[in-house]
Structure 1
Amino acid sequence: MASLRRFRLDPFLTALVALPVIATLLPARGGVAEALDTATIAAICLLFFLHGAKLAPSQTMAGFARWRFQLLVLGSTFVVFPVLGLLITLAPESVLSPVLATGFLFLCILPSTVQSSIAFTSVARGNVALAVSSASISNVLGVVITPVLAALLIGSQVHITPESILGIIGQLVVPFVAGQLLHRRIGAWLGRHRILVSIVDQGSVLLVVYVAFSTGVTQGLWTVVPPAQLLTVLGVSVILLAVVMSLFAGAGKVFSLPRADRVVLFFCGSKKSQVSGLPMAFLLFPPAQVGIMVLPLMVFHLIQLLVCAVIAKRVGRAYIEPELQPQPA
């Protein structure tokens, strides 16, 4: 019974797994789909506004002051990952279809996560303040870097237009900056009501996942992606995550980072943002391709959450347990 009590299904992860099934059986169509598109934009704007309001501008500036570490994280996110993404695109078509390979490349040029990177860093007893600044800087700069990398590496398959760039800035950067400006007024209140940010964070992700899969299903997603290819996406995602985690764990030791900073590099460097990635996909890719393009992101995101949750708990427990040992008299 004790083991059963310890094994609890996370409602958010359960919903992430269930929503693609629900969207497959009951995809949004017509007026409902249009209303959900509008609600998705509003939810993403609200999410980035709350993240900006919750983060003190002084923390943002302190993060920029650690510029060497920030360059290390940004290099992991926007150099190492894209190189691995390009290697994935070299896979034979018999192994991975070109569209799914491009989806992996899109995944690899996205910024790091914010909420989960900070949460896992905290659980693992890492440098939380540095994680806040690193993840936030990655997302803010990613608004510019990701479209540029998409144009350079993906080319004709993305639609980089002034409207798409303005859409990304309007949905992600402007709300974040507005939140920063209002931090003094509502930052403390948000600190006391963290559940609100959590609900918006998880709710916006779930909404965008449902809309993305609904769009894919109505465009014939599962006729293009057979079960064998879905298993391949799962396998490639596991391998990609294992490679980047090994690389960044080793990099922390090579650069002789303090333990708390190594934790930040490990979690911020190895994770990719579904919150930023899905809105960008809707703005950068044709509607008929969105569902396929984001499928690797969906699978990788779920795997990274499950794996990082286990690792963070073990790393945090390993850090605490020596302190709990009785000291010799």
Structure 2
Amino acid sequence: MKFKFDWFMKGMLVAVALAFLWPAPGAQGGFLQPELLNKAGIALVFFLTGLGLPLAALKDGALRWKVHLLIQACTFLISPALGWLLLKTSGGWMSADLQTGFFYLCALPSTVSSSVALTIAARGNVPVAVFNATLSSLLGVVLTPFWMAWQLGSSGSSFAVGPVIIDLLLWLVMPLVLGQLSRPLLGAWAGRHKARLQIVDRLTILTLVYTSFADTVQQGVWSRHGPLILVETVVGSALLFIILLAFTRLLGRWLGLNTEDRIAAVFCGSKKTLASGVPMAHLIFGANPALGLILMPIMIYHPLQLAVGGVLAQRWAARSDQARADA
């Protein structure tokens, strides 16, 4: 499985470039009405997420508690701990908004589609990948806002918990539940039109990326930072990914997991979701003018995890095929 710079990642570059060239429509008060457009987009993304989540598949491989514990601990404990360590060591050279962005990256749940796809390609334990990717998405609805409330509160930033919880319930949890409840009625239809629904989902996320950066540009946030901030983001994202990947592999060996389970653990435990991360950021950070800067780490991390994951999947699949041929 080779890494492809697909239309979605090209679209992210176009959305960011458009925000810098023509920010007015997507900024606060623009004619796109981002205050309403963003909420509607978030609801649509999580409705489609709920519609596509195969909760029935949680039964498969549910008893393999060691690998489940490893993956969820890497996602929601070890990763935030790495984010906290980065905050403690970067205070002198990294802006506060970028620090928040890195911690937000570390607090995000795993992906669903790419984790499962890479596990399939690498000949890993697919039921374990489906179970943990789905469980991670559900846990992230609660744990990601919890970690951000803790981080922002400990840094002295104001964080209105009540309004954020109401927004999360209204625009995230309710559409997610409605999407899941619609599966008996719309599940077969969604399966037949999966490719088209994914295009709608990705276009909605690109719209949210545009409005995020448009407001950041309009508020003059980027004028206060030089090009060095992009280098910091790339280096920080790569460092976090490498450490998290290494932790997951070492802990998998230490727990005595078999090869298939370790493959699933690596791909699920090291991934972070852009698809849920962008809309969730709009609810957690609201009208923060630095939202585009906060989203930079996950936007760098996303193609990085796909590129490295594709190389690893190809290598592990070749080893598996060779072992079977030798046997």
Q: Same fold (TM over 0.5)?
A: yes
Aligned residue-pair number: 320
Alignment equivalent of 2:16, drawn from 14, 20, 29: 20
Aligned to 1:309: 310
| Equivalences for residues 29-48 of structure 1 within 5 A | 29=27, 30-34=29-33, 36-48=34-46
- Give the corresponding residue for 2:6: 10
For residue 17 of structure 2, what is the amino acid of its counterpart?
Answer: V
Check whether the contact 1:53–1:182 (CA below 8 A) recurs between aligned residues.
yes
Matched residue SS, 1:111: coil
Give the deviation of 1:294 after TM superposition. Answer: 1.7
For 1:236, give the aligned amino acid: G
Match of 1:77 in 2: 75
Q: Which residue of 1 aligns with 2:232?
A: 232
1-structure distance, mates of 2:249, 2:307:
18
- Tell me: CA distance 1:174–1:260, structure 2 relative to 1, closer, same or farther (3 Å): farther
Q: Give the deviation of 1:302 after TM superposition.
A: 2.8
Q: Confirm or deny: 8 A CA contact 1:77 1:112 kept in the other structure.
A: yes
Percent identity among equivalent residues? 36
Matches of residues 136-285 of structure 1 in structure 2 within 5 Å? 136-155=134-153, 156-157=156-157, 159-285=159-285
Q: Is contact 2:48–2:201 with CA below 8 Å preserved after alignment?
A: no
> 1:205: Cα distance to partner?
2.5
CA distance in 1, matches of 2:158, 2:70: 28
User: 2: CA distance between counterparts of 1:48 and 1:104?
Assistant: 23
Stretches of 4+ moved more than 6 A in 1?
A: none
Distance 2:200 2:125 in 1: 25
CA deviation vs aligned residue, 1:231-260 (integer Å, no higher than 9, x gap): 111111111111111111122222122222
The alpha-carbon deviation at position 268 of structure 1 amounts to 1.2
* TM-score, normalised with respect to structure 1: 0.87
TM-score by length of 2: 0.87
SS in 2 for 1:287: coil
- What is the aligned partner in structure 1 of residue 56 from structure 2? 58
Question: Which residue of the partner structure matches residue 108 of structure 1?
Answer: 106
In 2, Cα distance between equivalents of 1:128 and 1:69 = 12
Contact kept? 1:125, 1:316, Cα under 8 Å: yes
Q: Distance in 1 between the 2:276 and 2:51 partners?
A: 17
Q: Which amino acid aligns with 2:116?
A: I
Q: Give unmatched runs, 5+ long, in structure 1.
A: 1-5
Letter in 1 for 2:107: I
* Residues 112-139 of structure 1: per-residue CA shift (max 9 Å, x gap): 1222222222222222232222112112
Secondary structure of the 2:302 match is: helix
Instruction: State the superposition RMSD in angstroms.
Output: 2.5
Tell me how far apart the structure 2 counterparts of residues 171 and 132 of structure 1 sit (CA, whole Å).
25
Other structure's SS at 1:13 match: helix
| Residue 119 (structure 2) aligns with | 121
Is the contact made by 2:164 and 2:283 (CA closer than 8 Å) also made in structure 1? yes
8 Å contact from structure 1 (residues 49, 177) kept in 2: yes
What amino acid is the match of 2:95?
Answer: S
What secondary structure does 1:220 align onto?
Answer: coil
* Cα deviations by residue, 1:273-320 (Å, 9 ceiling, x for unpaired): 222222232222242231222222222223222222332233233323
Question: What secondary structure does 1:90 align onto?
Answer: helix
Deviates more, 1:151-160 or 1:263-272: 151-160
Which residue in 2 is equivalent to 1:291? 292
Q: Which SS does the other structure have where 1:108 is aligned? A: helix
**Which deviates the most, 183-192 or 266-275?**
183-192
Bigger shift: residues 187-196 or 146-155:
187-196
SS of 1:112's equivalent in the other structure is coil
Could you tell me how far 1:50 is from its partner in structure 2?
2.7
Question: Aligned partner of 1:246: which letter?
Answer: A
Query: Residue 55 of structure 2 contacts residue 134 of structure 2 at CA under 8 Å; is this kept in 1?
Result: no
